[in-house]
């Protein structure tokens, strides 16, 4: 129990005493998912626990514990957390990879320093996932980064993903680059379809 002074009067409220972070860190490896879930939740206010949460996320099998780990990591977001989550873009675990993408979309300032590297990755799938992050990232530079992809990426599926992103967040200034991309992929039915659809959407019809 703690006493809280509210509105000039002392009010008695019941509160859960904060748990020892060392115990919480140990609980992240508990056999029972409910214990791991509670530990992941209660470590959210502890920035020093961020790497332990990332470590746990990489091996956690329970979807509900994974969800709480990601929620806590979004709360603790930093460029280091974003880098750890970005490493999951190479995972063969599709739900984990998709969860990492969704979490990174929630931390625009933390992921921004890593986007250049991700967009230059030698693996085209990693570049596609980076473009997918950009398409839903609330960051002022996102349209420009997508435009850079359209201008320079050699892989058709990376460009197609960027076209989808620009359809969502691109402005009229991107039309000239989309027109150039359409000329580059002239004769490819999907690319012509996708670019035409994006340009119609950007133009507002």
Partner 1 sequence: MARSRESEMNGAPPHILVVDDGITMRMFYRSVLEAAGFMVEEATNGMEGYEKVLAQPFDLMIVDINMPKMDGYSMIRTIRNDPAVRMIPAVVVSTEAAAKDSARALEAGANFYLVKPVAPEDLTEVVRMIVGVAA
Chain contacts with partner 1 (rule: CB under 8 A): 92, 94-95, 97-98, 102, 124-125, 128-129, 132, 156-157, 160-161, 163-164, 167, 188-191, 193-194, 197-198
CB 196, min distance to partner 1, A: 10
CB crowding 1-23: b at 16 or more within 10 Å, else e:
eeeeeeeeeeeeeeeeeeeebee
68/194 with CB nearer partner 1: 194
46/155 with CB nearer partner 1: 155
CB 125, min distance to partner 1, A: 6
40/163 with CB nearer partner 1: 163
CA distance 107 to 75: 9
C-alpha triplet 81, 86, 91: angle, nearest 5°: 125
CB 41, min distance to partner 1, A: 21
Tell whether the torsion through CA atoms of 38, 95, 128 and 123 is positive or negative. Answer: positive
Q: At what angle do helices 63-75 and 50-59 cross, to 10 degrees?
A: 150
83/136 with CB nearer partner 1: 136
CB 49, min distance to partner 1, A: 27
110/191 with CB nearer partner 1: 191
56/97 with CB nearer partner 1: 97
CB 166, min distance to partner 1, A: 11
CB 200, min distance to partner 1, A: 11
Supply the Cα-derived Rg of the chain in whole angstroms: 22
Whether the CB-CB separation of 25 and 52 falls below 8 Å is answered with yes
């Amino acid at each position: 129990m703690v006493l809280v002074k509210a509105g000039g009067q002392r009010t008695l409220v019941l509160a859960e005493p904060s748990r020892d972070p060392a115990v919480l860190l140990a609980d992240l490896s508990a056999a029972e998912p409910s214990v791991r879930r509670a530990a992941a939740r209660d470590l959210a206010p502890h920035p020093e626990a961020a790497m332990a949460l990332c470590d746990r996320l990489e091996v956690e099998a329970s979807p509900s514990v994974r969800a709480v780990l990601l929620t806590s990591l979004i709360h603790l977001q930093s460029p280091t957390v974003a880098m750890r989550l970005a490493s999951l873009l190479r995972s063969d675990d599709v739900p984990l990879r998709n969860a990492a993408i969704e979490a990174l979309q929630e931390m625009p300032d933390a992921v921004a320093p890593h986007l250049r590297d991700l967009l230059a990755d030698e693996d085209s799938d990693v570049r596609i996932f980076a473009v997918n992050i950009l398409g839903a990232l609330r960051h002022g530079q996102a349209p420009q980064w997508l435009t850079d992809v359209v201008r320079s990426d050699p892989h058709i599926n990376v460009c197609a993903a960027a076209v989808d992103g620009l359809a969502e967040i691109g402005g009229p200034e991107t039309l000239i680059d989309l027109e150039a991309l359409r000329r580059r992929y002239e004769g490819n039915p999907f690319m012509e379809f996708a670019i035409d659809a994006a340009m119609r959407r950007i133009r507002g019809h």
